Structure 1
Amino acid sequence: MPEVDIHPFQPRSLEAMVTENAVEGCVRETFGALVTAWQARTAGDAKVRRALGPISRDELRHAELAWAIDAWAAEHLPPSSRERVLQARREALRTLEHEVGSQVPPVQLVREAGVPTREQALHLLHGLTVLVA
């Protein structure tokens, strides 16, 4: 086994942890849950649809946990910290929109795996943005 270099644990503030949760959980995990649910319904390959059903539900549970953490943290952070977390979430949505908008998935993945087209993915993301921004 190769040696693994692990950096020593560094404590972080509640705001730093909640900000990471807002970006990775509330934005990216929630979008991932939307995409896998889309794929579970639209994949042309029945095996892919069956495989993605449970994955989609698992991704949704991850997103739900992120939002539960976010709601809990809103009660424990001062207003200035909550505003910074909200700004980080908005920036993460803008970054994700740029990433999604710059990708054109191969037609075969759209057809067989149900990967949303760029336009469909942007539509899903815009719906998410309305809900969380």
Structure 2
Amino acid sequence: MASLNDKHFESLKKAFEKDNFIVKNFKEQFPGFKYVTPKGYMEYEGKAGLLAEHKTAKNAITGEPKRVYYVEGTNYQMGFLLGLMAEPQVTRMSTEFVEQVAFAFFSEDEIRKSPFSFLLKPIQELVVRLISEDCRKMRPDIP
């Protein structure tokens, strides 16, 4: 499969720079990693993945630079590339976030004070299971 050519890579890099982003060089972070190209971007099955961080904009909670990802390919290839570039974030999103998102809308303190507090854990597990099952019914092209 053809990889991202130098001209295309440079045009993407310039587009990010125009929006005040710096394209991250994965050669520094993952020396010798088989998915890192000589130019420093990720590549899987001939499809490219780039990560760029904003020069000034920061996440209000973590203080880390705002990030943008560029991925090419099928849903699987894009997911693979995103997983390579954002493994800690993907792991956290697919565990902590998924398990807690439905309950972020309720006050656990209030529920714990209730005489029905013993139901909190089973209800949480049921809601997460129902949401997970419902998500499996989504069209396969929705990431």
With the length of structure 2 as denominator, give the TM-score of the two structures: 0.26
Greater percentage in helix: 1
Which gives a bigger RCO, structure 1 or 2 (Cα 8 Å, sep 6+)?
1
Normalised by the length of structure 1, the TM-score is 0.27
* Structure number with higher strand proportion: 2
**Which has more radius of gyration?**
2
